[in-house]
Amino acid sequence: MRRAIPAPPANGNRLNAFFGVFRYSHRALTLVWQTSRSLTLGLAACTLVAGVLPAVAAWIGQLIVDAVVAAMVDHGETGRVDWWPVLRYVLAEAGVIAVIALAQRGLSAQQSLLRALLGQKVNVMILEKAGTLTLAQFEDSEFYDKLTRARREASIRPLGLVNKTFSLAQNAISLASFGVLLVQFSPWAILILVIGALPVFVSEAKFSGDAFQLFRWRSPQTRMQMYLETVLAREDSIKEVKLFGLEPLLLDRYRRIFDTLYGEDRRLTLRRETWGFLLGLLGTLAFYGAYAWVVVETVTGQLTLGEMTMYLMVFKQGQAALSASLTSISGMYEDNLYLSNLYEYLEQPVDAESGTRTTGARPGDGIRFENVSFTYPGAEKPALSGISLHLRPGGSLALVGANGSGKTTLIKLLTRLYAPSEGRILLDGSDLRDWDIQALRRRIGVIFQDFVRYQLKVGENLGAGDVAAFADEARWREAARRGLADDFITDMPGGYHTQLGRWFKGGQELSGGQWQKIALSRAYMRESADILVLDEPTAAMDAAAEAAVFADFREHSHDKMTILISHRFSTVRAADQILVVDGGRILERGDHDSLMAADGRYARLFRLQAEGYR
Ligand SMILES: Nc1ncnc2c1ncn2[C@@H]1O[C@H](COP(=O)(O)OP(=O)(O)OP(=O)(O)O)[C@@H](O)[C@H]1O
C-alpha cells in the first residue's frame, strides 16, 4: 500500500525542524565518550591530523614547483644544479603523505573498535529498558513498533553520527586551512565554491527526511515481514506450516510486502540520485569556472606556476572536502532522525511501578479483591467486572469458567502484570500498588498456561523459578522431584545439564507433558513464595501424573494460599472456595458440596464431565 509523504512543515518551521533534529548530536557524542574515552580522544587527534595535513601537502606542492622552476632557470644560466633545495620539499611532502595515511588508518581502526563497543552498549540499553516496561506497553503495537525500529537501526546510528561529526570536523579543518591559502588568491573563489555545493546539500537533507518518514511508516510492515520469517523458519511453527501447506501462501505475502517496500524505495532512490546529479553539476560548473580563472591569472603572469598548481589542488581538494562535509551534514540529519526514535523509546515513561512495602499492614490477612474491574488497553468490553474475594493463608481457591471468561486475567492482576481499572487488590491489608514489586513477586510462585520453554539446560529451566538458586543443583533436584520431572531428567544423556530445545547443538526436545512438569517444578523452586498459582498445570499430563501432582500439592500447601485454574472438575473439587467465572463476573461461589447442592452451572458442568468419564 502506497502512502504519500506528508508535506514538510511550512517555511520558517521547516528550518527549525531541520536544525531541531540536531539536538541528538550531543547525546550521541556523550554516548561515545562514555563508551570509550581513549578511543574518542584518539579519533579526535587523528581527525585533526588528517584535517590539517592536506593543506600542508598542497603548500609544499607549490614550493616544489617553484623550486623546480627556479632550479631550471639556474641550470639554464649556470649549467649547474643544486639538488637539495628541490628534493628536500619532495622528501617533506612524502613525509606528510605518510603521516596522513597513518592518521587515516588510525581513524578507521578506532572507528571499528568503537562500533563494536557502542553497538553492544546501545543494545544493552535497549534491553535494560525493555526490562522496566509493563506488559501493557509490550502489547501496544505502536510501542512495539518503536522498539522494533530502535533495535533494527539505532544500534549502528550513534557511531554513524559520531563518525560523520568527526569527518565533518576533519573536512572543516581542511577547508579552513585551504581557505587560508585561497583567500590570498581571492575571497570570491571561496564564495563560488560554497555556492556551487549548497544545492546538493539542501536536496540531500530533504531526501534524508523523506527516507526516514518511509522507515517510520513501514514499521508495521517490517514487523509483519519479521514475523513471517519467524513462522517460516522456526522449528516451533514449521510443523504446522508444513502440514497445512502454508509455505506458498505465507511466502507470497512476504514477497508482496517486499514489493511494496521496494517500490517505495525505488521511487525515492531514483528521485534522490537524479536531483543529486543535476544539482551536483552546479558544483562542477563552479569548480571549472574557478579553474579557468586561475589559468587566466597564470597566463597573464599574476600567478607563478607553483601557485597555479597549488590553487588547482586546493580547489579540487577543497571541493571534495566541501561536498564531503555537506554529505556528512545531511547524513547527520538522517542519523539524528533515527536517534530521535531510539531516545523516544528509551524515554518512554515507565509506570511508577513500585511502592515500598515489603510487609503488609495486616500480616496474615491474605489476598482480597475489592470490587475489581479491569479492561485491557484498547478493548471495548471489560475482561473482569466487580470481582470481590478473600483468600486466607492456608486457603485454596479454584477458578472455573468457559474459555475467555477472565480467569487468567485475574491472575495477571494479582501478579501486578496489570493494575485494576477499578477497585483494589490487597495483600496482607495493603494495596498491591503500595508493595515493592520485587517483594510482592518473591511471594508468588506461578505457572501460566503459556509458560516459557527456555532453550537452556534442564536444570536452568528449573532454576529460572528462583534466580537466587539459578545454578543450585540440590534445589533443582528437590523441585524436580515434587514436579514429577526427576525421573525423566535423570534418564536424559546429560541429566540436569542436558540442553533443551532444538536451537543449540545436542538439544533435546521434550513432550508436552514433560515440559509441563518442568514448568511445575519451576514454580516449586520459589521456596519463599506463600502464594502458589497454577493455571492449567496438568492439562498435558497423563492421569496418573495429574493425580500425583495434586496429592503432593495438597500435602505441601497447608500454610500457603493456592489458586488453581482448571477445566478438570476432579482437580477443582478439593478447593475450599470455588469461583465460577462467566463473562468476567463471578456467577457462583462456594465449596464443592454447596455448589452441587445449589444445582447451578457448576453442578451441571460437573455432572457433564462425570458422565463423560463413565
Ligand atoms: N492481552 C490481552 N489484551 C486484550 N484482551 C485480552 C488479552 N488477554 C485476554 N484478553 C481478553 O480477555 C478476556 C479474558 O481472557 P482470559 O485469558 O482471562 O480468559 P480465561 O478465562 O483464562 O480463558 P481460558 O480458559 O481460555 O484460558 C478474553 O475475552 C480475551 O479475549
Pocket lining: 38 vs ligand 1, CB cutoff 6 Å? no
- Residue 491 has φ and ψ, to the nearest 5°, of -75, -15
Question: In angstroms, rounded to a whole number, what is the distance separating the alpha carbons of residues 121 and 131?
Answer: 15
Strand partners, 579: 399, 589
Looking at per-residue confidence, does 256 or 356 come out higher?
256
Arithmetic mean of pLDDT over the chain:
86
Q: Give the pLDDT score at 328.
A: 82
Checking if the pLDDT of 282 tops 50, the result is yes
Q: Put the strands of the sheet holding 396-401 in their side by side order.
A: 444-447, 531-535, 561-565, 396-401, 577-582, 585-590
Q: Is the CB of 134 under 6 A from ligand 1?
A: no
Work out which ligand 1 atom sits closest to the CA atom of 405.
21
For the Cβ of 376 lying below 6 angstroms from any atom of ligand 1, the answer is yes
Task: Tell which one of 400, 405, 411, 585 to mutate to probe ligand 1, the residue whose CB is within 8 A of the most ligand atoms.
Answer: 405
Q: Whose CA is nearest to atom 3 of ligand 1?
A: 376
User: Does 401 contact ligand 1 (Cβ within 6 A)?
Assistant: yes
The cell numbers describing 496, all together, are: 540436569
Cα of 403 to ligand 1 centre, how many Å? 8
- CATH architecture for the domain at 375-612: 3-Layer(aba) Sandwich (3.40)
**CATH says 24-347 is which class?**
mainly alpha
pLDDT of residue 561: 92
Query: Residue 4's pLDDT is what?
Result: 39
Rounded Cα distance, 128 and 350, in Å:
12
Burial status of residue 280 (CB atoms within 10 A of its CB: 0-12, 13-18, 19 or more): middle
Assess whether the C-beta atom of 583 lies below 6 angstroms from ligand 1: no
Ligand 1: does its nearest atom lie under 6 Å from the Cβ of 475? no
| C-alpha 54 chain-centroid distance | 41
**Which single residue is written with the C-alpha cell 511445575?**
520
Look at strands 422-427 and 367-374 and give their pairing.
antiparallel
Instruction: Give the tens place of pLDDT for each residue, 10-69.
Output: 444 556 655 665 777 788 888 888 999 999 999 889 988 988 898 899 889 889 988 998
**Phi/psi of residue 447, each to 5°?**
-120, 130
ipTM for the assembly? 0.96
The predicted model gives 149-160 an average pLDDT of 76
For the Cβ of 9 lying below 6 angstroms from any atom of ligand 1, the answer is no
Element (DSSP H or E) covering residue 388: strand 384-391
Gap from CA of 406 to ligand 1 centroid (Å): 6
C-alpha span between 306 and 102 (Å, rounded) = 27
CA 566 to centroid of chain Cα atoms:
37
Nearest CA to ligand 1 atom 5: 376
Q: In 3D, which of 443, 450, 478, 441 has the Cα closest to residue 463? A: 478
So what's the pLDDT on residue 613? 57
Instruction: Give the ranges where 183-301 is alpha helix by DSSP (H).
Output: 187-217, 219-233, 235-243, 247-299
Is any atom of ligand 1 closer than 6 Å to the C-beta of 409?
Answer: yes
**Which of 376, 380, 400 maximizes ligand 1 atoms within 8 Å of its Cβ, making it the mutation to test the pocket?**
376
- Ligand 1 pocket check for 403: Cβ under 6 Å: yes
How confident is the model over 490-533, as pLDDT tens digits?
A: 999 899 999 998 778 888 889 888 999 999 999 989 888 899 99
Alpha carbon distance 81, 71 (integer Å): 7
pLDDT tier for residue 459 given thresholds of 50, 70 and 90: very high
Q: What is the pLDDT, as a whole number, of residue 7?
A: 41
Q: Which helix (H) or strand (E) holds 564?
A: strand 561-565
Among protein residues, the one with the nearest Cα to ligand 1's atom 6 is 376
Asked if 429 and 362 touch (Cβ cutoff 8 Å), the reply is yes
Measured distance CA(578)–CA(372) in Å, rounded: 18
Ligand 1 atom with the smallest distance to the CA of 412 is 18
Cα of 384 from ligand 1 centre, angstroms: 10
Q: How many angstroms does the Cα of residue 441 sit away from the middle of ligand 1?
A: 22
Grid cell, residue 219, equals: 514499521
Say if ligand 1 is within 6 A of residue 382 CB.
Answer: no
Most confident among 55-59, 118-122, 140-144, 576-580 (mean pLDDT): 576-580
* Residue 394 DSSP label: T
| For the chain, domain boundaries | 24-347, 375-612
